[in-house]
Amino acid sequence: MEYFIVENGKQAGPFSIAQLAEKHIKPETLVWKEGMADWTPAWKIAELKFILAEGSQQTGTAVPPVPPTANQAEEMSQPAAETEEKMRTGMTATRSLRKRNLTGNSS
């Protein structure tokens, strides 16, 4: 099957799937082939999806960071636990002050 693409605002082609892979087309590249009613983004064309996936691996798509080890996860959670404790202590103090203000007790 031969495909045409929009390249720099102009029609280019025809290209085979292998040629489109070499061109490293993007998912949003407009593509047309015989039998299609209109130009369509490459990501919507089933037979082109695999070359788009290959292209994203070759272009260095951001790889997620490695998850922390058990020790790192524990270290990261300790400051959070301390913060939670401070928040609870602060909330208790705030409640005590409100009670005093509502009841008129200053002690």
Averaged pLDDT for residues 20-41? 94
Alpha-carbon gap, residue 49 to 43, rounded angstroms: 6
**Lowest mean per-residue pLDDT among 3-7, 20-24, 52-56, 59-63:** 59-63
Task: Let me know the angle formed at the C-alpha of 89 by 87 and 91, rounded to the nearest 5 degrees.
Answer: 65
Mean pLDDT of the chain: 76
Q: What is the pLDDT of residue 104?
A: 63
Question: pLDDT of 50-79, one tens digit each?
Answer: 888 765 544 445 556 666 676 665 665 556
